[in-house]
Amino acid sequence: MSAGGMLYGGDEIGALVFDPGHHSLRVGYAQEDTPKAEIPAVVGVGPADAALNSDLETKADNNVASTNKYYVDTTFVSVPRPNMEIQTYMKDGMVDNWDLFEKVLDYVYAKVVQSESMYHPVLFSEAAWNVRNNRERLTELMFEKYSVPAFFLVKNAVLAAFANGRATALVVDSGATHTSAVPVHEGYVLSQAVVKSPLGGDYLSLQCRQYLESQTIDLTPAYGIAAKDVIKERDNARFTPRQLPEKLTSSWQQYMLKGLLQDFQMSTVQVLETPYDERTAAQIPAVHYEFPNGYHQDFGPERFKLAESLFDHTMLGAGQLASTSVGMCDADVRLSLYGSVVVTGGNTLLPGFPERLNRDLQHRAPSNTRLKMISANGSVERRFGAWIGGSILASIGTFQQMWISSQEYEESGKSQVERKCP
């Protein structure tokens, strides 16, 4: 079948949309409204079973690479195993460890898609600051190893804007490892005005951890607890620890602790609409939280103080990032950017985040601007903003001529991606 006559995005051939991030990789079929799977952006790397090794010692010399076993996805990563290290394949918003990333892709095709990769065109999202050799390497991987029929790369900010029905927008994306403000104009990223800061969900988890430890609250995650007693508020926890295998790595324990902190921050932490003020915060009802070991208490003003660090930073506050970004754009697009500020990313689900950003921007924007915040109400739309945009884009009829087909790749190689994908 010639590439010219081939229609990729029809109903018969499901295009796949991949949206990699630092917290997780979102995967699913185009035309659907949510990803089929959300896979943590970490891989457990452990030694292969010792029992198997003893039989294979004679063969081990000619195949040294097979000494590691890889664990992908929540159900496998979360099991306590001796000597299993947790590693991430992402760095600074880009894929960094390609070997681990391939393990995850293999898992996706085998367990999530459950179909051969050669049948599905693939649309990938990428960070606005992704570099050329990374893009080319991904293109090469998809065509050479997975022999996809067609491939395309889009900036995730553009996709998030599309998901909210905008071609021009200022996309404020707050994720696990960083918060960025990316201006998108008519579907293209204005790359000279991209601003990012390292304050995201992980930074907030760190703040939560320091606070809880300063309160001497025992942070034993659920995997370490066999049974617990019901106790009164602020009483010491009474629980039975579980027998755990020896040699649990610290990277795995840190990863599991992070899960506990993320639950805590999503349940209790909140952003005040005005800059933090003890009196205002004290008037808002406290929130009750129970830790896995059974200890529980109310959290009052301190839950607002934790989130404040995302906004009150002189250089890196979210409002500051957004206004700096708009200020670096041409004067004639500024009004349209302020007119649609799209809020996306899992960290923006903190209660009060969009409202506070709105207030901070109103204080920074010129007085004659009409400021409009677009933040989807559903948590799904905000966590998976870029994925949903990709799902929309890959299923539009007029987009079908944009794909890099395998034929084009064979003719002119991986440099195609720089030419065809803005």
- Report helix, strand and coil shares of the chain as percent, to nearest 5: 40, 20, 40
Question: Tens place of pLDDT for every residue, the chain, 422 residues?
Answer: 344 445 554 455 689 999 999 999 999 999 999 999 999 999 999 998 754 443 433 334 444 456 889 999 999 999 999 999 999 999 999 999 999 999 999 999 999 999 999 999 999 999 999 999 999 999 999 999 999 999 999 999 999 999 999 999 999 999 999 999 999 999 999 999 999 999 999 999 999 999 999 999 999 999 999 999 999 998 988 999 999 998 899 999 999 999 999 999 999 999 999 999 999 999 999 999 999 999 999 999 999 999 999 998 888 899 999 999 999 999 999 999 999 999 999 999 999 999 999 999 999 999 889 999 999 988 999 999 999 999 999 999 899 999 999 999 999 999 999 999 98
Q: Where are the beta strands (DSSP E) in 193-261?
A: 195-197, 225-228, 239-241
Domains of the chain: 201-309 (3.90.640.10)
DSSP SS3 for 68: strand
Tell me the C-alpha distance between 30 and 394, whole Å: 6
Predicted pLDDT at 53: 44
Length of the chain: 422
Rg, C-alpha atoms of the chain: 23
Contacts of 374 (CB under 8 A, 6+ apart): 164, 166, 169, 340, 341, 342, 343
Predicted pLDDT at 76: 94
Look at strands 42-47 and 68-72 and give their pairing. Answer: antiparallel
Q: What's this model's pTM, rounded to 2 decimal places?
A: 0.91
Predicted pLDDT at 65: 52
